[in-house]
A and B are shown apart, each in its own frame.
Chain A
Amino acid sequence: MSSSVSITLTHCSRTFAGGHMALQPLDLKVNAGETLVLLGPSGCGKTTTLRIISGLESPDKGGQVQFGQRDVTTLPIEKRDVGMVFQNYALFPNMSVADNIAYGLKLQRLSRFEITQRRDEAMRMVDLQGFGERRIDALSGGQKQRVALARAIAVRPKVLLFDEPLAALDAKLRDRLRIEIGQLLRELGTTAVYVTHDQDEAMALGDRIAVMQAGRIAQLGTPQEIYHQPANAFVADFIGAVNCLSVIATKPDGQLAVHGGELSAPHLLGATEIYCRPEDIQVVPLNQADIKGQVVQSVFLGQTQRLLVDAGGTVPLQIEAPSRQRWPNGTAIGLALPFNVLFHPDKPTTTINTKEMANG
């Protein structure tokens, strides 16, 4: 296996014709052998970033792309030694499965023996043995993406790039291929950049995740950091469901009054809003509850159920509850919110603030 390289983007921005800046000046380093996921809603600049890394697009003047120590900013994609997997497969319909996979190898002018060997190895890795003679239009979506994957890894690229490779597949297949891609990436140890709008995919595959918003990186971190310590409200909301409780007042004893009850959160003093994840809220007897409310709706999800609880706020709270228990609408319910699950991404904590709020 070729030794992996790091990718460094320095001050890379991208302005499209018409003046729209799809990517704000961006500095990003992908460590050698690491899988970095670019996550975000459509139009956030994640695909543009990937295309700049690949060489399909160039950064605006002043931007620099490096693979390892090598400056590749002006190199076109065909000279960058990358392997790319596209959302719509982009397989060559005029070639068989085997010829698709061998395409890059033939361009490298390898010996016939080596081409066959590496082609078969790639097919084995994605579990496509025996499909070599098939026509592309005789394959299912999942098989097509396996061919695309094999085609990209067969050339042993320095960098593997994925542009929403699973977005066109149905849920079950998506899960399976996601696991397989994860195994493959660990096996190969190639530096990889993976673009997706799917948070599950991002958390399962990424060594680190860059959450992008409006052409910028909103947060860069491990999946755990992103999920448990989101850097701002956008990240908190984009990764998983999140409840947002407005703080009505801070009591003299330090308790925070919210709709439906009081919370104890010394680390969040001064915050005007408090966040917590649905699965971190516990259902408890009413006399032990921090917050009390009424069930307004329960959504059965199979392995769990999502309760919507009205505690007096503008938006009902979302709570994850065991799926076998029944919660008729209107049931009074008690909720416990331990302080260690409460967070606020960008809380303005100052002592002055606290005093003012305590007095008023």
Chain B
Amino acid sequence: MKSRLRFTLQLSFTLIVCLFMIVPVAMSVLAGLTENYFVGLQSGLTLRWVNEVWELYSDTIWLSIKLALACLLITTLIGVPAAYGLLRSRRRWANAIEELLLLPVAVPGLATALALLLAYGSYREFRGSWLFILIGHVLFTLPFMVRAVLSVMQTAKLPQLEEAAASLGASFRQRFFSVVIPNCMSGILAGALMVITLSIGEFNITWMLHTPLTKTLPVGLADSYASMRLEIGSAYTLIFLVMVVPLLVAIQWAGRLTEQRR
């Protein structure tokens, strides 16, 4: 009996905490689907606001996707070799570099953005293009790729596998592509999902670096909250959730895949 009571209490506490966090999200989503939020649900459900957001802000969504994919490409091309280099280099150096890599994560995004503006702001063409924002995103997300790949590399016993491959006649290139890359694929996957999610949701750096022509999704979101009807902002949130939630689920899944490999 006693344990039953305790179970009931625990369950209700958990549910209350969940509600506390989920209700605002649900309300927001609902607001984006309601005809008139101030009248309430009886005004009826509609996709009108979602449509309106799409018309007003679809270019921010496309830009965000383009940025995320470009960012993924660059962080993979730089991050995987970088992680491999850290793995093979001497311990003291590797530790120092790993910490340096974390700097862009620790430093406030606004400061990173300001530094970028100071350094490259005078190149007008570059300043106005989406590539400028891309630099900021790469700086911010690269450490996550390197860390994810490095942690898998460290458990994969790569040095031994490479020695075995070399003994069978594989050159460095052949070893890298047939042994190193396939055996840290789960780390690359986990890193990739992380990079995409972070890039799509990044606000601080982007907000400083954007121009009226290079707005990303989160920047557009802030814009709509500030200047549009509440329903439009909420509908925008809904679109953002639809894009990001599957990615978060995939990150979980990739993480479990990595653990199984160990």
Chain A residues close to B by CB (< 8 Å): 54, 56, 76-79, 81-84, 86, 88, 90-94, 103-104, 107-108, 148, 151-152, 155, 161
Give Cα A244–Cα B106 distance, bound, in whole angstroms.
67
A103 to B178, CA, bound (A): 9
What does DSSP make chain B's interface, helix, strand, loop or mixed?
helix
Q: Is the CB of A83 within 8 A of B167?
A: yes
CB < 8 Å neighbour of A155 from B160, B166, B168, B178:
B168
Query: Known interface pairs A56-B163, A84-B164, A86-B164. Does A107 touch B169 (Cβ–Cβ under 8 Å)?
Result: yes
Chain B residues, CB < 8 A from A77: 163, 166-167
A-B contact pairs, 26 of them (CB 8 A): A77-B163, A78-B167, A79-B169, A83-B167, A83-B168, A84-B167, A86-B160, A88-B160, A90-B157, A90-B161, A90-B164, A91-B164, A92-B165, A92-B178, A92-B179, A92-B182, A92-B183, A93-B156, A94-B185, A103-B170, A103-B178, A108-B169, A148-B164, A151-B168, A152-B167, A155-B168
Is residue B43 within 8 Å, beta carbon to beta carbon, of the partner chain?
no
Q: Is the CB of B168 within 8 A of A107?
A: yes
A76 touches B168 (CB 8 A): no
CB neighbours of B157 from chain A (8 A)? 88, 90
Since A77-B163, A86-B163, A155-B169 are in contact, a sample of 18 more A-B pairs with Cβ atoms closer than 8 Å, ordered by chain A residue number, is: A56-B166, A76-B166, A77-B167, A78-B167, A78-B169, A79-B169, A81-B169, A84-B167, A90-B161, A91-B164, A92-B161, A92-B164, A92-B165, A92-B179, A93-B261, A103-B178, A107-B168, A155-B168
Q: Is B211 an interface residue (CB 8 A)?
A: no
Q: Within the complex, what minimum Cβ distance (angstroms) separates B161 from chain A?
A: 6
Q: What CA separation (Å) do A217 and B73 show in the bound complex?
A: 54
A78 to B175, CA, bound (A): 10
Find the residue from B168, B171, B174, B261 having the highest chain A CB count within 10 A: B168
Q: A residues within 8 A CB of B161?
A: 90, 92
Q: Which B residues form the contact surface with A (CB < 8 A)?
A: 156-157, 160-161, 163-171, 174, 178-179, 182-183, 185, 261
Q: Tell me which residues across on chain B come within 8 A of A90, comparing CB atoms.
A: 157, 160-161, 163-164
With CB as the reference atom, state the residue of chain B lying closest to A83: B167
Most A CB atoms within 10 A — which of B161, B174, B183?
B161
Residues of B contacting A76 in the complex (Cβ-Cβ under 8 angstroms): 166
Expressed in whole angstroms, the minimum distance between the Cβ of A147 and any Cβ of chain B is 11
Residues in B with CB closer than 8 Å to A155 are 168-169
A residues less than 8 Å from B182 (CB atoms): 92, 94
Q: Which residues of A contact B178 (CB under 8 A)?
A: 92, 103
List the 4 closest A-B pairs by CB distance, nearest first. A104-B168, A90-B164, A84-B167, A94-B182
CB proximity of A49 to chain B, nearest CB, Å: 16
Checking A54, A86, A93 against B183 with a beta-carbon cut-off of 8 angstroms, the contacting residue is A93
Taking CB atoms, residues of chain B closer than 8 Å to A84 are 163-164, 167
What's the Cα separation between A94 and B261 when bound, in Å?
10
The distance from the CB of A191 to the nearest CB of chain B, in whole angstroms, is 15
**B contact residues around A83 at 8 Å (CB):** 167-168
Taking the nearest CB of chain A, how far is it from the CB of B17, in angstroms?
40
A161 to B157, CA, bound (A): 20
In the complex, A88→B161 CA distance in Å?
10
